[in-house]
Chains A and B, each alone.
Chain A
Amino acid sequence: MEQHNTATPHVLPLSLYFTVAGTLFVLTGITVAVSFVHFGEFNIIVAMLIATIKASLVALYFMHLKYDNKLFMAVFLSSLIFLGLFLTLTMTDTMHRGDIDPIKEHPIKKEAIIYDK
């Protein structure tokens, strides 16, 4: 069996929580600021990068992943991996429909019928 390490609670210092929260605020500020600058395709990468850092901070410190059983980390990461697989494999379809015959790439009518009126 895995070793148990929760017999006595692992108390983190207050300052750590505030530092993390502070960093999260700052990163939120940065990501909003950056969104007003136009890097084109790059914007999404920056925004997702910052979001990922923020999410990791929440998971590692607020959710104690850094200190808890490493199994939990593996469990959590597995969800992201499988989500990634789902998106990637579906995109082998959605991004490649016109590969052989361009006529198949787009819908016949661009606008939905609700605009027909």
Chain B
Amino acid sequence: MSVATTANYLNAEKGIKSWLFTLDHKRIGLMYLFAVMTSFFLGGVFALLIRLELLHPGQDFFTADTYNQLFTLHGAVMIFLFIIPAIPAALGNFVLPLMLGAKDVAFPRLNLASFYIYVVGALFALYSIVAGAVDTGWTFYTPYSTTTSTSVISMTMGAFILGFSSIFTGVNFIATIHKMRAPGMTWFKMPLMVWALYATSIIQVLATPVLGITLLLLVIERTVGIGIFDPAMGGDPVLFQHFFWFYSHPAVYIMVLPGMGIISELVATFSKKKIFGYKLIAYSSLGIALISFLVWGHHMFTSGQSEFSSMVFSFLTFFVGIPSGIKMFNWLATMYKGRITFEAPMLYTIAFMFLFAIGGFTGIMLGAISIDIHMHDTYFVVAHFHYTMMGGTVIAFLGGLHYWWPKIWGRMYNEKLAKVAWAFIFVGFNVTFFTQFFLGSQGMPRRYYNYLDQYQPLHMYSTYGSWMLGVGFLIMAYYLIYSIYKGPKAPNNPWGALSMEWQTTSPPIQHNFEDQPVLEHEPYDYDTRMVVNDELIKKEDVKEKEDINV
């Protein structure tokens, strides 16, 4: 599979066992990558089926029950199986120790365990498809979820188990970042991706247990009938929503923060410029993580929670916009007077700026209570969260995937096809979801398999867009898989980046670095450092040369 004649982590040990029992963070990261990509395609197929049914009003391909199961599975697979582990557990696992100049994460065995816990959780979730599929929506609202006859328990148990996988990744990363940094790498010399993963881990650790207990109680409620959430039993269904969103709002930042970390890396690397406002970006990650715990009630403005509560939550919601804005402005400023090139990762960066801005602004609209009353549970919300999750996180994930692809496999992908796929995805995405803003504001409720005729044209365009997306992803799947086998050999540092993961070979050797690396320059010192053809050029050394000047 691998190119290099020298030993690396891919060919150092052979055989299926050497993968299944590996403690190497790179291999575990790859296994995660395989798992989350499979989940993404599975979720994507569900999405295409949803869109297919919505092409025309009335019942076309699926019954109401099947449709309800489809969007539940789409949501649950995309959230729990794909997007939460996507960046931290797959890409993060691979690059974090490399970026820190460490040999591995702090607890390699826990790392492997969390992968297998993920697998077990995934099996539970998949089992629920066979055992009569779930139809509650990914939000599992009671009392519907406690009364429906579908296999809610296996899906909730699956999500519960997946939660532990996520917790262990978080624990592992926190310890790794605190204790495993290379000599010389102080907190403010870490790459911003590491800061982002750190903030993400904090959320994972603090929020996920509450989801765990919530789902556990849901299971107990269904089996034993303890009645805490069931109004017929003296319980309160709105309480369930508080518990659920206390996790699930911070969870959306579990999704997007690592994405923002990737963007910070990409924007500096492809602008060859020192990142602008390093500290502010680092702090804003922590800021977002903190504030994200205070705003969950904005999902419940119409739920019957107290008016006072709505006021508090609406107020707090807006403060997430500030650190997010800070990041966007800083990325923009980083590009200023840079030397920008347009390989696929940079294209994804630009797409991210475009799409996440729309997602973010519509988030602000939803945060204003009076507007949310109208928009809640319509396609406006659906469009908002696809712009943030797909347009933000998934796009950043794809950017990161292309960026580290040569490091992971030691092979280059086909840049031309990558640009074509990018174009399909970017255009297809906007066609699919921009239309949904209009659908939503016109009043089209979500989770409807059948709708009034007046919404038909927009739904149709949305469906066409989803096909474009499908084509884009097929092209991508093709050239990425092709490159693993036949791609040209990648240099150690194809993008001329300065962070530590590029200072080892592509693919990295088994324990990452020959010797313990020591931080010699900061990750974004593009004003004094430059890498050309794997060769580090220092400004001090080239002063005399005329063509390389400032």
A residues in contact (CB < 8 Å) with B: 1-2, 71, 78-79, 82, 85-86, 89-90, 92-97, 99-100, 104, 107, 111-114
A107/B306 in contact, CB under 8 A? no
CB distance from B309 to the nearest CB of A (A): 4
Cα of A110 to Cα of B333 in the assembled complex, Å: 60
- Asked whether any CB of chain A lies closer than 8 Å to the CB of B130, the reply is no
Chain B residues whose CB sits within 8 angstroms of the CB of A113 once the complex forms: 232-233
B178/A85 in contact, CB under 8 A? no
A2/B232 in contact, CB under 8 A? no
- SS of A interface (majority): helix
Name the CB-closest residue of B to A85: B293
Name the CB-closest residue of A to B184: A1
Which of B192-200, B238-246, B399-407, B478-486 is the contact stretch? B238-246
* In-complex Cβ contact of B242 among A78, A85, A90, A114 (8 A): A90
Name the 7 nearest CB pairs between A and B, nearest first: A112-B234, A96-B306, A93-B309, A96-B308, A93-B305, A92-B309, A112-B233
- Asked whether any CB of chain A lies closer than 8 Å to the CB of B307, the reply is yes
- Asked whether any CB of chain A lies closer than 8 Å to the CB of B179, the reply is yes
- Asked whether any CB of chain A lies closer than 8 Å to the CB of B299, the reply is no
A93/B306 in contact, CB under 8 A? yes
Cα of A116 to Cα of B147 in the assembled complex, Å: 19
Chain A residues whose CB sits within 8 angstroms of the CB of B420 once the complex forms: none
Chain A residues whose CB sits within 8 angstroms of the CB of B239 once the complex forms: 90, 94
A93/B233 in contact, CB under 8 A? no
B297/A89 in contact, CB under 8 A? yes
* In-complex Cβ contact of A93 among B231, B234, B238 (8 A): B238
CB distance from A79 to the nearest CB of B (A): 7
- Asked whether any CB of chain A lies closer than 8 Å to the CB of B304, the reply is yes
Q: 9 A-B pairs, CB-CB below 8 angstroms? A: A2-B178, A89-B294, A89-B296, A89-B297, A90-B242, A93-B300, A94-B236, A94-B306, A96-B308
CB distance from A77 to the nearest CB of B (A): 12
- Asked whether any CB of chain A lies closer than 8 Å to the CB of B531, the reply is no
Cα of A104 to Cα of B343 in the assembled complex, Å: 58
Cα of A111 to Cα of B234 in the assembled complex, Å: 6
| Given known A71-B178, A107-B231, A112-B232, contact A85–B294 (CB-CB < 8 A) | yes
Q: Total A-B residue pairs with C-beta atoms closer than 8 Å?
A: 65
A79/B306 in contact, CB under 8 A? no
Contact mask for chain B residues 238-278; partner A; CB cutoff 8 A; 1 contact, 0 none: 11001000100000000000000000000000000000000
* In-complex Cβ contact of A86 among B178, B210, B236, B238 (8 A): B210
Name the CB-closest residue of A to B234: A112
- Asked whether any CB of chain A lies closer than 8 Å to the CB of B312, the reply is yes
| Given known A71-B178, A78-B206, A82-B293, contact A99–B233 (CB-CB < 8 A) | no
CB distance from A73 to the nearest CB of B (A): 14
Q: How many residues of chain B are within 8 Å of chain A by beta carbon?
A: 29
A92/B306 in contact, CB under 8 A? yes
* In-complex Cβ contact of A92 among B231, B234, B246, B308 (8 A): B308
- Asked whether any CB of chain A lies closer than 8 Å to the CB of B121, the reply is no
Chain A residues whose CB sits within 8 angstroms of the CB of B309 once the complex forms: 89, 92-93, 96
Chain B residues whose CB sits within 8 angstroms of the CB of A82 once the complex forms: 206, 293
Name the CB-closest residue of A to B295: A89
| Given known A1-B181, A111-B234, contact A93–B297 (CB-CB < 8 A) | yes
Chain A residues whose CB sits within 8 angstroms of the CB of B246 once the complex forms: 86, 90
A107/B308 in contact, CB under 8 A? no
Cα of A79 to Cα of B297 in the assembled complex, Å: 20
Name the CB-closest residue of B to A86: B246
CB distance from B30 to the nearest CB of A (A): 29
Which of A2, A93, A99, A107 has most B Cβ within 10 Å? A93
Name the CB-closest residue of B to A82: B206
Chain B, range 202-247, C-beta contacts under 8 Å to A:
206, 210, 227, 231-234, 236, 238-239, 242, 246
B294/A99 in contact, CB under 8 A? no
Cα of A1 to Cα of B190 in the assembled complex, Å: 12
CB distance from B370 to the nearest CB of A (A): 16
Cα of A1 to Cα of B184 in the assembled complex, Å: 9
Chain B residues whose CB sits within 8 angstroms of the CB of A99 once the complex forms: 306-308
A1/B179 in contact, CB under 8 A? yes
Chain A residues whose CB sits within 8 angstroms of the CB of B312 once the complex forms: 89, 92
Chain A residues whose CB sits within 8 angstroms of the CB of B232 once the complex forms: 112-113
Cα of A95 to Cα of B358 in the assembled complex, Å: 36
Chain B residues whose CB sits within 8 angstroms of the CB of A93 once the complex forms: 238, 242, 297, 300, 305-306, 308-309
Contact mask for chain B residues 304-344; partner A; CB cutoff 8 A; 1 contact, 0 none: 11111100110000000000000000000000000000000
Chain B residues whose CB sits within 8 angstroms of the CB of A97 once the complex forms: 304-306
B307/A107 in contact, CB under 8 A? no
